[in-house]
């Protein structure tokens, strides 16, 4: 079934700007989100989601009440929620394999959802900016297209991406929103930043650095963070490269 806004089928392809002009409710929600003050989220009850990770839980979780992520520049933070049982997934997408990641996001929610109950699937997309390489624009299109291809009806509720999340300063472009969080108990989505990015921040960052697919990091049944095995190949001549300045590294052919 298609991607929907206010019960109407979304026509694709469209840019984010064209899409919100066709659906004023999206433009208003993006404006309200951009206008929020950034909330500093502490570690109590927080599960921080790094790049190429997803986490899913529900309001019944006794350990986690907030899912969040930040440091998104061209990346997009995706929240998918089932309004019936409150099952909520948050992920930090970088465009590595959007075609495989969207079904993974959807299946993580379906594992919680009793489809006989009332409710619908709602998606929120935040992140990116008007970057010179058009990476944000490409990722926005990929996410919208892949959600539109899924069998279930998915209702697009928040779209604050790419040109809708862009500010210009001295002819340079930057994101307005770098991070968001969702309270899984209340469904409130808000701008956020995080001092604590754990647990096991370095271990998880290393896995993202060496590549590999998106993974689910949290078992809501046992309320435990779970990081599977991954391989690490030593970087050749790392001591030499650490001694070089930025100019030297940028001039070195890849």
Residue 89 CB-half CA count within 13 A: 28
Q: What is the pLDDT of residue 191?
A: 98
Rounded-to-integer distance, Cα 140 and Cα 160, Å: 10
Q: What is the pLDDT of residue 113?
A: 64
Contact 129, 162 (CB under 8 A): yes
Residue 194: partners with Cβ closer than 8 Å, 6 or more residues away: 40, 41, 46, 48, 68, 70, 179
Rounded-to-integer distance, Cα 123 and Cα 77, Å: 11
Looking at the 3D structure of the chain, how many domains does it have? 1
Residue the block writes with tokens 């989601």: 49
Query: Tokens representing 179?
Result: 């991070």
77: CATH: 3.30.1330.200
Q: What is the pTM of this model?
A: 0.89
Q: What is the pLDDT of residue 166?
A: 96
Q: What is the pLDDT of residue 208?
A: 76
Q: What is the pLDDT of residue 68?
A: 98
Q: What is the pLDDT of residue 200?
A: 82
Q: Is the link from the previous residue into 142 a cis peptide, with omega within 30 of 0? A: no
Range of the structural domain that residue 219 is part of: 3-251
List average pLDDT for each run of 10 residues in the chain, which is 254 residues long.
86 87 93 97 95 95 96 96 95 95 94 73 97 94 95 95 94 95 98 90 80 88 86 71 70 50
Q: What is the pLDDT of residue 242?
A: 77
Residue 7 CB-half CA count within 13 A: 0
Q: What is the pLDDT of residue 1?
A: 58
């Amino acid at each position: 079934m298609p991607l929907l806004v206010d019960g109407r089928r979304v026509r694709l392809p469209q840019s984010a700007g064209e899409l919100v002009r066709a659906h004023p409710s999206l433009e208003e929600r993006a404006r309200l989100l951009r206008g929020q003050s950034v909330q500093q989220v502490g570690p109590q009850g927080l599960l921080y989601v790094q790049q190429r990770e997803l986490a899913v839980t529900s309001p019944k979780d006794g350990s986690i009440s907030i899912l969040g992520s930040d440091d998104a520049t061209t990346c997009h933070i995706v929240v998918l929620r089932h309004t019936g049982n409150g099952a909520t997934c948050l992920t930090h997408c970088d465009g590595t394999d959007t075609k495989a990641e969207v079904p993974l996001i959807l299946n993580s929610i379906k594992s919680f959802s009793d489809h006989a109950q009332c409710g619908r699937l709602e998606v929120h997309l935040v992140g990116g900016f008007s970057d010179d390489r058009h990476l944000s624009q490409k990722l926005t299109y990929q996410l919208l297209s892949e959600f539109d291809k899924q069998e279930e009806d998915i209702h697009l509720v928040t779209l604050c991406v790419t040109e809708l999340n862009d500010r210009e300063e001295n002819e340079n472009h930057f994101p307005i929103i770098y991070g968001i969080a969702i309270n899984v108990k209340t469904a409130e989505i808000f701008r956020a930043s995080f001092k604590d990015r754990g647990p096991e921040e370095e271990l998880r960052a290393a896995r993202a650095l060496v590549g590999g697919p998106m993974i689910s990091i949290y078992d809501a049944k046992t309320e435990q963070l779970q990081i599977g095995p991954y391989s690490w190949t030593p970087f050749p001549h790392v001591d030499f490269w650490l001694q070089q300045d930025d100019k030297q590294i940028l001039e070195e052919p890849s």
